[in-house]
């Protein structure tokens, strides 16, 4: 019984990884609206997202606006990849 459960979990994990690996490779720039959509899709508040990403709430707000004052803010690649990792982890936890 345990082997069947493991095989099922492994198959689903491999499927998720394969699909998200393609997405990770294609990511060029995560737009502010995509960042906000990501946060909301995981049911995270700005505070929760900041804690999970190791950022301050204000940085989350800058990323969602795409600006800090008049200056355009781009979401760094390592934050985009961290978002992707958290999304994958969330999906695996639901399996």
Q: What percentage of residues in the chain have a pLDDT greater than 70?
A: 69
Residue in the structure block whose two tokens are 């969602």: 64
CA dihedral 30, 19, 78, 58 (to 10 degrees): 50
What is residue 72's three-state secondary structure? strand
Which segment of 3-17, 27-41, 53-67 scores lowest on mean pLDDT? 3-17
Output the pTM of the full model. 0.70
Mean pLDDT to the nearest integer, 64-78: 94
Distance of CA 1 to the CA centre of its chain: 33
Q: Is residue 75 over pLDDT 90?
A: yes
pLDDT tens readout for residues 17-57? 666 655 555 456 789 999 999 999 999 999 999 999 999 99
Q: According to the model, what pLDDT value does residue 67 have?
A: 96
**Residue 71: strand pairing partners:** 68
């Amino acid at each position: 019984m345990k082997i069947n459960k493991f095989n099922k979990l492994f198959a689903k994990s491999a499927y998720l990884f394969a699909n998200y690996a393609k997405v990770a490779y294609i990511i060029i720039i995560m737009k502010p609206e995509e960042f906000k959509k990501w946060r909301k899709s995981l049911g995270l508040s700005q505070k929760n997202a900041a804690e999970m990403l190791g950022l301050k709430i204000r940085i989350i707000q800058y990323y969602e606006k795409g600006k800090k004052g008049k200056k355009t803010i781009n979401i760094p690649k390592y934050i985009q990849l961290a978002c992707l990792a958290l999304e994958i982890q969330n999906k695996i936890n639901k399996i």
